[in-house]
């Protein structure tokens, strides 16, 4: 694969995906980047050898894929400014912005624009992300393959056939790393409250989180069954899980994810207006 890919936005996500592409063998000379802050684009040129362009349009013109890696609130202005370059070259447009729908993007860029929308997450920064992708009807099989290759450079890729599920994906895996970080924080604090030295509480918490996740991911046994296997009748784990159940952990998570899903929908209304 050596089609030209233009990145608009050289922030955390843009940098992570470019780093992943370079690591997976995509030639630096066929990656372009532009950012409102030119120093950020120049920094990626120095780090990875990719081409830094002075304006977004200069990066986009002639590219096979234009990756929109700016904040949702910056999207409308960025896309409006790119319309001429995109109409001239007909690339696939790949947006990673939360809450911006393919119809909002098509409304700004033209109804026949090939658009892929993706929701990645922050473990992409170390190549361990997970992302859901949705393609509108104008995207060809080759366009889908290129979009999947780009996101696979920083993690796992899952296609959606129903874009409305993207709000639930945002609530689960887009925001999900923060729930896991919160769980790590509270486990560590509870360990300290029981008298463990802070450094030991942190090490035990992180190693448990990483080990349990790896066990669940590598096992054909369901997470619920793995949990039952460590929950002996009358034992310590059962005592803790009873308290979590009495405290309403499951309905609490249902309410939390519903709040995140609803916020994703309102972001679409706020930043995706025609």
Q: What are the backbone angles phi and psi of residue 10, rounded to the nearest 5°?
A: -115, 40
Phi and psi at residue 233, to the nearest 5°: -60, 130
Query: Based on CB atoms, which residue is closest to ligand NAP, 77 or 238?
Result: 77
Q: Out of 97, 133, 138, 151, name the contact with ligand NAP by CB under 6 A.
A: 97
Asked if 72 touches ligand NAP (CB under 6 A), the answer is: yes
Q: Determine the interface stretch with ligand NAP among 4-12, 134-142, 153-161, 195-203 (rule: CB under 6 A).
A: 4-12
Pick from 37, 213, 221, 222 the residue near ligand NAP by CB under 6 A. 37
Query: What does the DSSP 8-state code read for residue 196?
Result: -
Q: How far is the CB of 245 from ligand NAP (least distance, A)?
A: 31
**Does position 19 bind ligand NAP by CB under 6 A?**
no
Q: Is 35 in the site for ligand NAP (CB under 6 A)?
A: yes
| Residue 98 touches ligand NAP, criterion: CB under 6 A | yes
Cα dihedral sign, 140-108-28-154: negative
Q: Pick between residue 57 and residue 201 the one whose CB is nearest to ligand NAP.
A: 57
Out of 18, 52, 78, 105, name the contact with ligand NAP by CB under 6 A: 78
| Binding status of residue 71 toward ligand NAP by CB under 6 A | yes
Nearer to ligand NAP, 71 or 202 (CB): 71
Give residue 270's Cα distance to chain centre.
Answer: 20
Residue number, 70 or 201, with CB nearest to ligand NAP: 70
**36 near ligand NAP, rule: CB under 6 A:** yes
Angle between helices 12-23 and 38-48 (to 10 degrees): 20
Query: How far is Cα 120 from Cα 68, in angstroms, rounded to an integer?
Result: 13
> Is there binding between residue 120 and ligand NAP (CB under 6 A)?
yes
Residue 96 lies near ligand NAP (rule: CB under 6 A): yes
DSSP-assigned beta bridge partners for residue 32: 6, 51
Q: In this chain, which of 74, 83, 103, 231 binds ligand NAP, going by CB under 6 A?
A: 74
Instruction: Confirm if 83 and 252 have CB atoms less than 8 A apart.
Output: no
Residue (81 or 231) nearer to ligand NAP, CB? 81
Minimum CB separation of residue 132 from ligand NAP in Å reads 10
CB 113 within 8 A of CB 6: no
Per-position b or e across 134-170, b if 16+ CB within 10 A of its CB: bbbebbeeebbebbbbbbebbbebeebeeeeebbbbb
In the three-class reduction of DSSP (H, G, I as helix; E, B as strand; rest coil), residue 157 is classed as strand
Whole-angstrom distance, CA of residue 233 vs CA of residue 53: 64
Task: Return residues touching ligand NAP (CB under 6 A).
Answer: 8-14, 34-37, 40, 56, 69-72, 74, 77-78, 96-98, 119-122, 174
């Amino acid at each position: 694969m050596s089609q030209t890919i233009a990145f608009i936005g050289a922030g955390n996500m843009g940098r992570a995906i470019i780093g992943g592409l370079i690591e997976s063998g995509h030639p630096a000379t066929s990656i372009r980047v532009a950012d409102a802050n030119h120093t950020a684009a120049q920094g990626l040129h120095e780090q990875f050898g990719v081409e830094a362009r002075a304006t977004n349009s200069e990066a986009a013109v002639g590219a096979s894929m234009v990756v929109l890696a700016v904040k949702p609130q910056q999207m409308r202005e960025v896309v409006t400014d790119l319309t001429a370059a995109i109409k001239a070259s007909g690339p696939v447009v790949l947006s990673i912005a939360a809450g911006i729908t393919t119809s909002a993007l098509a409304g700004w860029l033209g109804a026949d624009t090939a658009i892929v929308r993706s929701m990645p997450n922050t473990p992409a920064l170390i190549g361990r992300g997970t992302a859901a992708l949705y393609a509108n009807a104008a995207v060809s099989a080759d366009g889908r393959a290129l979009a999947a290759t780009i996101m696979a450079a920083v993690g796992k890729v899952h296609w959606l056939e129903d874009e409305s599920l993207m709000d639930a994906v945002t609530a689960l895996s887009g925001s999900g790393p923060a729930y896991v970080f919160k769980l790590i924080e509270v486990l560590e604090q509870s360990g300290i409250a029981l008298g463990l030295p802070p450094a030991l509480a942190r090490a035990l918490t992180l190693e448990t989180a990483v080990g349990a996740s790896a066990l669940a991911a590598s096992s054909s046994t369901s997470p619920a069954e793995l949990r039952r296997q460590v929950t002996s009748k009358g034992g310590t784990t059962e005592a803790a899980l009873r308290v979590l159940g009495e405290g309403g952990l499951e309905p609490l998570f249902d309410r939390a994810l519903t709040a995140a899903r609803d916020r994703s929908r309102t972001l679409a209304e706020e930043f995706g207006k025609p």
